[in-house]
Structure formats: C-alpha cells, structure tokens
Amino acid sequence: MRKIQEILRLHFRADLSRRQIARSCSVSRPTVTDYIDRAQRAGLSWTQIESMSEKELTTRLYPVSPWKKRKRAQPDWARIHRELSRPHVTLQLLWQEYKLDHPDGYQYSQFCERYRRFQEQVDPVLRQRYRAGDKLFVDYAGPTIEVIDPLSGEVRTASIFVAVLGASNYTYAEATWNQDLASWIGAHVRCFEFLGGVPRVVIPDNTRTAVTHSCYYEPELNPTYQDLARHYQVAILPTRPFRPRDKAKVENAVLVVERWILAALRNRRFFSLGELNQTLRQLLEALNQRPFKKLPGNRSQWFAEIDQPALRSLPRSRFQFAQWKKARVNIDYHIELERHYYSVPYRLIRQEVELRYSATTLEIFHLGQRVATHRRSQQAGHHTTDAAHRPPAHRRYLEWTPSRLIRWAEKIGSQTALVVARILDSRRYPEQGYRSCLGLLRLADRFGEDRLEAACHRAVRLQATSYKSVQSILKTGLDRQALPEEPRTLPLEHPNIRGAEYFEREEKAHVD
C-alpha cells in the first residue's frame, strides 16, 4: 500500500514520467499506469490521497462489485458425498438438483471442483467411489486373542476375521480358531447372515486359503471358495499381489477393529470361543454406532440408509461346506479318500477325476460332469461299490452266488445240492468252486436230471463229491447200478456242511 502512495506522489507532486516512476519503484510500467488510471477515475487529488488511510485508499481504488457482494448458496457436501454412494447417482444429477433450488448457485465445473476439495478433506488417500451394496472387503487382523481351556488350562489363540462394506464402512468381526479353509468359509457365511443380504463383489487378499495360485492377471480361486460364490451369486475379485491400496478399505477397518475392540480386550480373559464372540459382537455394535469425525451419522445409519436396501437377498438354504480333491481312478474302478474306496464307472479307469466331499456325502466329477455320488464311510480299508459301475462281465460273474448255485441244484435233487455244497465247502474261497458247480449242473443237459441225481447220490455214498467223479459215474453208467450197502449214511444236515443259509449270511456280510 505504501508503494501505491509513493507511485501516486511521484506522479502528482514530482511530475515524473510513468517509465521513470516504474524504474524508481521497481514495478512494471503497466502497474504504474493502472494505479494512476484508478486514481483518476476515482477523482482523487494528491491532497486527498495524502490524508487517506490505507483502507480508505484501497476502497476508493478498488470498489467492490455488486456481483461480488452476492454469496452463492453452499451445497451440503456431506449429503452429496453420501448420495453418490447410491446406485446410478452422479455428480451431474446432484448438480442439477442443486441448481433447481439455487438458480444463482455454482456452475457445474465449480460444483465438481469444490466437491473434489471436500473429498480430499474427508480422506486424502481414497480415490475410489463405492456404490451401495457393491463391494465387501474381507481379511484377517494381525493380532490374535488368547482363549484358555477351563479344564486343561491350555491356551489357544483365536484369529479375528474382519469384513467391511465399501459404501457405508459397516464393519463385521468374529473370532475363529484358525485361518484354515473351513474357518474362512464359515466366517463368510456368518458375515452374510449378519448383514442380512449379499453384496455383488467380495474382495479378499491373496491368501492361500482363498487363492490356490496367485497371479497378477488371473488368480486361481480355491474350488470351495468358488462353490461359495456360486451359491450366493457373488463375484470374487482378489486384490493384486503386493498392492495394499487395493484393499485399503479393509486395512483401515482392521486398524479400527484393533484400536477400538482388540485394544479394549487386552486385559480380558476368555474361556471359550463362544464367550469371545459374544463380547466381540457387543463391542462391534458400539463401533458401528460411533459417529463419524468428518461426516454426519455413523456406520449403522449409513448401512441402514445406503447399503442394506441395495444388498441382494440371502438364498433359501445355507451354504454347506465341502472340500475338493483330485484323484486318479485305479484299475479296480475305485478311488481312495481317507483310506476308504469308492467306485466310479469302469470306463474312467486311469482317468483323473475331482472329488467334492463333505462330512456326509462324496461327489465325483469328470470333466465338470458328476459321474458318481456316495454316502461317506469312515471304515478304513473297506469298499463302497455301486453295481452299475462294474463292467458287464463282472456283473454277470457276481450274479453267481453260493446260495444261488445251491438253490439251483435243489431243483434237481437233494443229493445234487449236497454235492454242490461240498464242492463250495472244499474251497478256501467259494468263488473258486463256481466253475466246477456250473459244470456239474450242466451235466443234467447231457444225461438228464434223474441220472445226475442218482450219480450224485452214489458220489456222496462213496465220498467222491467232485465234478470229475460225478462225470465218470455218468459216463460209465454206474448211476444205473445198485448202490453198495453202507451202515451209515451221511445226512444232509451235518455240522461240517455250511449249506445255503451259511453262504447267504456270508454274502450279506460281504455286501455290508
């Protein structure tokens, strides 16, 4: 201001040229011209200028324009920031609504610029805009909480699962014994139930529980995690490796949980996981109701107003946890799972299949198609076999059971049935006598049933109960001769003869 007075003094009193005044005051010539012109337009003389204060001179030289005196209506930037989280809401739409209420308000470019300034004040790092019900960020907190076994005194550590919605910052947390696949999936299911709906996208870290093979461009999800996504109709988008800002939302939520929940529990002792989760739920409710520092409302209010109406409904049934495993079909058309063997169609011998197994059922897939389903069995070393999976030759072979052969022989006669029973009884395994029994029964086609029954009667009397002996008796015609006298005859019921009932019991026990 003193320089302005000096410029005017040199002009009005010293009568110097404008170029000389500029050189003397170290300013540009246009600046000198501007000051002199303003003084002349204001009708000021040096006598008046000399008696004025700095404020008065500034007011006379720079009068305030009537347009500048008007103050523009300031938008409610906090409300606009919250409205932008709603689906399909844009800055242009909000600006149009603002202009309807305030026709003399900011134009669109100034409106956007001032909102960006407000956004930087709210969070100088955040550059993403989250839509209502769109993204759910999930992760595990670093610190753990100790849980004491009340009986043994053993101390175990529980991990803290954290999830946060992008638009409202509504937060969920729970304790699990570890960070394995079952705990990871179970925490997701309970989180969806806590929210009362399902978001469109779930964003996890590149943890091995969620991502089988980490990749910058195409990460491979765990098959069970993919099942969860299909069941709840959500998309799983893992963050890029070594890009923590991709999940800055959940990183901040984890920090908030650690400060406001875990820190508050640092001196507490817990004796069960249920007790710990009950306490977490109480502190979590208080956290979601804490007022925001730079925005009106709290997480619960924003969730009820923004995210909750946009969430999709939960499916009718709860997700059932099941794991996946790859296996190769053995030459006996069975695969092994936890030391038990399950059948698959024989055409898949030596083929690789995928197993999806829960606590109660096993599903077997080949090239994405389910080829077999079995009930889980805990009997190690045993087989669960579907008869339809066997080759036709095996099915025909297994139709010939000891009891069936004996019943067939009984249709010819009791002596023929006795010979068949003795042949089966003489083998270590009944299957080893099938061929001999079938050969014996086919002799009836050549010699007739009566002669076969008589030949078997003679064979029993002579204790020569074999296929070759009966065949020799028939060929030599001994079946037509009188039987030799013998003081004792071997009855059909004898302790050493197992009979059809025994083989039926053995067959049933084998199947079971």
Q: How far apart are CA 161 and CA 142, in angstroms?
A: 10
Read off the pLDDT band of 404 (50, 70, 90). Answer: confident
Q: Is the pLDDT of residue 207 over 80?
A: no
Q: Which amino acid is at 21?
A: I
In angstroms, the CA 168 to CA 306 distance is 7
pLDDT at 95 over 70: yes
Q: Which residue has the higher pLDDT, 55 or 409?
A: 409
> Tell me: the pLDDT tens digits for 459-487?
998 888 899 999 999 999 888 888 766 55
Q: Which CATH architecture has domain 135-310?
A: 2-Layer Sandwich (3.30)
What pLDDT does residue 394 have? 67
Lowest mean pLDDT among 32-36, 235-239, 442-446, 501-505: 501-505
User: Measured between alpha carbons, how far is 205 from 215 in angstroms, rounded to an integer?
Assistant: 12
Task: Work out the average pLDDT over 356-362.
Answer: 87
How does residue 254 score in pLDDT terms, banded at 50, 70 and 90? confident
Global confidence as pTM: 0.54
Beta partners for residue 203, in sequence order: 137
CB-CB contact of 262 with 160 (8 Å)? yes
Q: What is the pLDDT of residue 493?
A: 57
- Averaged pLDDT, 278-291: 90
Separation between Cα atoms, residue 282 and residue 291, nearest integer Å: 17
Rounded distance between C-alpha atoms, residue 406 and residue 410, angstroms? 6
Cβ(376)–Cβ(357) under 8 Å? yes
Interval 168-189: pLDDT, tens: 889 999 999 988 888 999 999 9
Confidence class of residue 365 from pLDDT cuts 50, 70 and 90? Answer: very high
Residue with tokens 């995210």: 307
Q: Which residues pair with 211 in a beta bridge?
A: 221
pLDDT value at position 174?
Answer: 92
Mean pLDDT of 312-326: 88
- How far apart CA 270 and CA 341 sit, in angstroms, is 43
Condensed to tens digits (0 to 9), the pLDDT of residues 188-201 reads 999 999 999 999 98
Q: Is the pLDDT of residue 38 over 50?
A: yes
Between helix 434-447 and helix 467-476 the angle, nearest 10°, is 20
18 in helix, strand or coil? Answer: helix
Average pLDDT of the segment spanning 49-65: 77
Q: What is the pLDDT of residue 328?
A: 92
- What type of residue sits at position 229? A
- Tokens representing residue 98 in the block: 């603002």
Tell me the helix, strand and coil percentages in the chain, rounded to 5.
50, 15, 35
Please tell me the distance from the alpha carbon of residue 208 to that of residue 140, in angstroms, as a whole number: 13
CB 461, CB 489: distance < 8 Å = yes
% of the chain at pLDDT higher than 70: 85
pLDDT for res 244:
55
* Stronger pLDDT, 214 or 413, i.e. the higher one: 413
- Judge whether residue 64 has pLDDT over 70: no
Q: What does DSSP assign to residue 112? A: H
CB 78 within 8 A of CB 296: yes
φ/ψ bin of 339: left (φ > 0), alpha (ψ from -120 to 50), beta (otherwise):
left
How confident is the model at residue 66, as a pLDDT?
46
41-50, 222-231, 318-327, 363-372: least confidently modelled range: 41-50
pLDDT level of residue 67 (50, 70, 90 thresholds): very low
Cα–Cα distance list, 192 to 198, 342, 472 (Å): 6, 35, 81
Count Cα atoms within 13 angstroms, Cβ side, for 125. 8
Cα torsion 266, 268, 273, 275: sign: negative
- Average the pLDDT over 22-39 and give the result: 85
Check residue 257 and give its pLDDT.
Answer: 86
DSSP 495: T
Higher pLDDT, 242 or 504: 504
Q: How many CB atoms lie within 10 A of CB 183?
A: 19
The average pLDDT across 491-506 equals 60
126: confidence class by pLDDT, cuts 50, 70, 90:
very low
How many helices and strands, by DSSP H and E, does the chain display? 22, 15
Q: Which residue has the higher pLDDT, 85 or 284?
A: 284
Top-confidence range, 15-29, 38-52, 162-176, 248-262: 162-176
d(CA 511, CA 401): 12
* Mean pLDDT taken over the chain: 82
Name the amino acid, one letter, at 430: P
Confidence tier at 387 by pLDDT (50, 70, 90): confident
Q: Determine the pLDDT at residue 488.
A: 53
Mean pLDDT of the region 145-149: 90
| Burial class for 184, CB neighbours closer than 10 Å (0-12, 13-18, 19+) | buried
Distances (CA, A) of 121 to 80, 98, 256, 306: 14, 21, 19, 22
The three-state (H, E, C) secondary structure of 403-462, written as one string: HHHHHHHHCCCHHHHHHHHHHHHCCCCHHHHHHHHHHHHHHHHHHCHHHHHHHHHHHHHC
Check: CB of residue 330 under 8 Å from CB of residue 353.
no
The gap from C-alpha 152 to its chain's centroid, in whole angstroms, comes to 34
Q: 497 pLDDT band (50/70/90 cuts)?
A: low
pLDDT of 15 > 90? The answer is no
In this predicted structure, the answer to whether residue 88 has a pLDDT above a threshold of 80 is no
Assess whether pLDDT exceeds 50 at residue 388. yes
Q: Using 50, 70 and 90 to split pLDDT, how confident is the model at 125?
A: very low
Question: What would the mean pLDDT of 213-230 be, rounded to a whole number?
Answer: 76
Per-residue pLDDT, 248:
64
Give me the residue spans of the domains in the chain: 2-66, 77-122, 135-310, 323-395, 400-511
Q: How many other C-beta atoms lie within 10 A of the C-beta of residue 275?
A: 14
Percent of the chain with pLDDT over 90: 21
Mean pLDDT of 427-450: 83
- Alpha-carbon gap, residue 285 to 180, rounded angstroms: 26
Q: What span, in angstroms and rounded, lies between the C-alpha atoms of 5 and 36?
A: 10
Q: What is the maximum alpha-carbon separation in the chain?
A: 170
The whole-number pLDDT of residue 456 equals 93
pLDDT at 489 over 70: no
Query: Which residue in 391, 371, 384 sits closest to 336, CA to CA?
Result: 384
Whether the per-residue pLDDT at 501 is higher than 70: the answer is: no
